[in-house]
Amino acid sequence: MKDMEKIIFHPIRMRIIQMIAQSRTATVAALAEGLADIPRSTIYHHMGILCENQILHVVREQKVRGTYEKEYGLNYDEIAVPAENTERAVTNLLLKLYAGFSSYFSVPNQDPVRDQLFLSVNTLMLADEEFEDCRRELFDVIQTYMNRPAAENRRPRLLSVVSAPCAGEQKGGSEKEEKA
């Protein structure tokens, strides 16, 4: 069995998946333009891994200047995390975030203020419909900035958004737990 979380949660592959998810399809040339900080050979390498694992598939091929250019799309059935694996997927993502921070702070003379590192934990009191509106608006803002191409004055920044019920406020649970 392939470890989909390991495949998907690689930072470069996550960026490729995000770009394709936004535009619905993309060529390697379009990805290379949008991910200008990543060498084209590296993009090809990670595209190969995503295709081998059926996360991406070719949706169209067209002849461009004597060669065939492939346009890729996401195989949403492959990247969907089954409910029974959700806890493992969340844990893996949080461990990757921890590893990223650990790596950042292992380099001498890091300057979190200069690098605009921030953490924010907020408790929101919202009905389900209000929370859905909040989530949609938040992702609309993020999407506005995700499409910006790499440039000399730009560098990749990881922004993670996690939503979880507050302790003691979870819905559901087993009947045994509710009686306890």
Q: Which of 8, 26, 59 is nearest to 147 (CA)?
A: 26
51 φ/ψ angles, rounded to the nearest 5 degrees: -70, -45
Q: Radius of gyration of the chain from Cα atoms?
A: 20
Residues 44-54 have a mean pLDDT of 95
pLDDT score for 178: 45
To the nearest 10 degrees (0 to 180), the angle between helices 128-146 and 11-23 is 100
The mean pLDDT of the chain is 85
Rounded CA separation 160/144 (Å)? 16
Residues 101-120 have a mean pLDDT of 91
pLDDT at residue 176 above 50?
A: no
Across 24-38, 48-62, 87-101, 109-123, least confident range: 87-101
Our measurement of the distance from residue 159's CA atom to the centroid of its chain's CA atoms, rounded to an integer in Å, reads: 9
| pLDDT band, residue 81 (cuts 50/70/90) | confident
Q: What distance, in Å, lies between the first and last C-alpha atoms of the chain?
A: 37
- State the CB neighbour count (10 A cutoff) for residue 158: 12
**Is pTM beyond 0.75 here?**
no
pLDDT score for 171: 64
pLDDT score for 170: 64
Across 14-18, 81-85, 118-122, least confident range: 81-85
Higher pLDDT, 137 or 143: 137
- CATH, domain 4-78, list 1.10.10.10, 2.40.50.140, 3.10.180.10, 1.10.1060.10: 1.10.10.10
- The CA–CA distances, whole Å, from 144 to 12, 46, 148 equal 20, 25, 8
Hey, where are the domains in the chain? 4-78
What's the pLDDT tens digit per position in 88-97? 878 877 888 8
Is residue 64 classed as helix, strand or coil in its secondary structure?
A: strand
Q: Which of 84, 82, 78, 80 is nearest to 53 (CA)?
A: 78
pLDDT score for 28: 94
